[in-house]
Amino acid sequence: MSAPGARAVAAIIPCKDEADRIAATVRAVLALDGVDTVVVVDDGSSDDTAGVAHAAGADVIVHARNAGKAAALETGVRHLRELEAAAARAGTGTGPGAGASALAPRHLLFVDGDLEDSATNLHVLVPPVLEGRADMTVATLPAQKVAGGGRGFVVRLAREGIEDLTGWTAVQPLSGMRCLTAEAFEAASPLAPGWGVEVGLTVDVLGAGLRVEEVPCELQHRVSGKDWRGQVHRAAQYRDVWRALTRRRLRRALSDRAPGVAHRI
């Protein structure tokens, strides 16, 4: 257990209809050294995801309607900052905003809600950020126990787009498990909408001159199948990744034409 005031990471878990998995995920993340707060954003679930997450120890925010992963992450971070500010004003000395973190916002750990007990392995993402060796770490996952139904089109689009825009080649450009500094999150805000959020994060963090490191992590999660639902999901991913890359290419083109002018598209 870390000393009081030394824990400087908060986990944000966006999820939808994960009542069967979210409790194990929350408990595993709460046990990570360096993490003292877990915020679950229930993004329009039709099951009892929110109630189960709360019972497991998470601070829970509920979207009445599904708003997408990026919106859920932004809601979670905004809620965390409100908690930190309230704790600092109250001078409670515990929880978000206490001790050293009253002066600086928490670093962030983004976690998918379906990892269950394997989320304990996320601990490898935290030290490079806390020790100042990386501004964002990205988990690279092993082969999953249940194979997915995709053919790699979205991954190739994301990898090639990131490399074209930044010169950096990602092993797993769509990995959602990331630990990042508060400054890195701000550099990537507002986040790319929907399923383009991971690609947008990588491009924007690297574009700000910050450091990104991929870290092998033994995680298992549910993968999209070969049925029509899986095909629809991958089509939405492709659309959102394409949009995120296109907007950043346009932003770069505008910046080249007008150096020194900020362009948010």
State the CATH number of the domain containing residue 46. 3.90.550.10
What is the rounded distance in angstroms from the CA atom of residue 179 to the CA atom of residue 123? 10
Q: Contact at 8 Å (CB) between 136 and 177?
A: no
Position 262 in a domain: no
Which of 42 and 103 is assigned the larger pLDDT? 42
What is the rounded distance in angstroms from the CA atom of residue 208 to the CA atom of residue 180? 13
What residue ranges in the chain does DSSP mark as E strands? 9-15, 35-43, 59-63, 107-110, 136-140, 178-180, 212-216
What is the rounded distance in angstroms from the CA atom of residue 83 to the CA atom of residue 68? 23
- Looking at the DSSP bridge assignments, the partners of residue 37 are 10
DSSP 190-248: SPPSGGGHHHHHHHHHHHTT--EEEEE---------SSHHHHHHHHHHHHHHHHHHHHH
Q: Has residue 137 got a pLDDT over 90? A: yes
DSSP annotation of 17 reads S
pLDDT at residue number 4 = 43
pLDDT at residue number 93 = 54
Q: Has residue 105 got a pLDDT over 50? A: yes
What is the rounded distance in angstroms from the CA atom of residue 249 to the CA atom of residue 254? 9
Which of 151 and 57 is assigned the larger pLDDT? 57
pLDDT at residue number 79 = 97
pLDDT at residue number 87 = 87
Of 242, 246, 160, 148, residue with least CA distance to 194: 242
- Cα 114 to Cα 38, 152, 158, 202, distances in angstroms: 15, 21, 23, 22
Average confidence score pLDDT of the chain:
88
Residue 11 phi/psi, 5° resolution? -95, 135
Rounded average pLDDT over 99-126: 87
What is the rounded distance in angstroms from the CA atom of residue 25 to the CA atom of residue 32? 11
pLDDT at residue number 223 = 60
Position 2 in a domain: no
Rounded average pLDDT over 48-72: 97
pLDDT band at 150 (very low <50, low <70, confident <90, very high): low
Q: Contact at 8 Å (CB) between 15 and 45?
A: yes
What is the rounded distance in angstroms from the CA atom of residue 5 to the CA atom of residue 161? 40
pLDDT at residue number 1 = 35
Q: 135-144, 148-157, 193-202: which has the minimum mean pLDDT?
A: 148-157
Position 169 in a domain: yes
Rounded average pLDDT over 17-33: 96
Q: Has residue 6 got a pLDDT over 60? A: no
Cis link prior to 127 (omega < 30° from 0)? no
Position 4 in a domain: no
pLDDT at residue number 45 = 97
pLDDT at residue number 232 = 83
Position 97 in a domain: yes
Rounded average pLDDT over 43-52: 97
- Looking at the DSSP bridge assignments, the partners of residue 11 are 38, 109
Joined tokens for residue 245: 């890359």
Residue for token digits 């988990």? 139
Position 253 in a domain: yes
Number of structural domains the chain divides into: 1
DSSP annotation of 170 reads -
Position 144 in a domain: yes
| Domain interval for residue 210 | 9-257
Position 263 in a domain: no
- pLDDT, tens digit, 9 for 90 and up, residues 168-213: 999 999 999 999 999 999 999 999 999 999 999 999 999 999 999 9
Joined tokens for residue 51: 């109630």
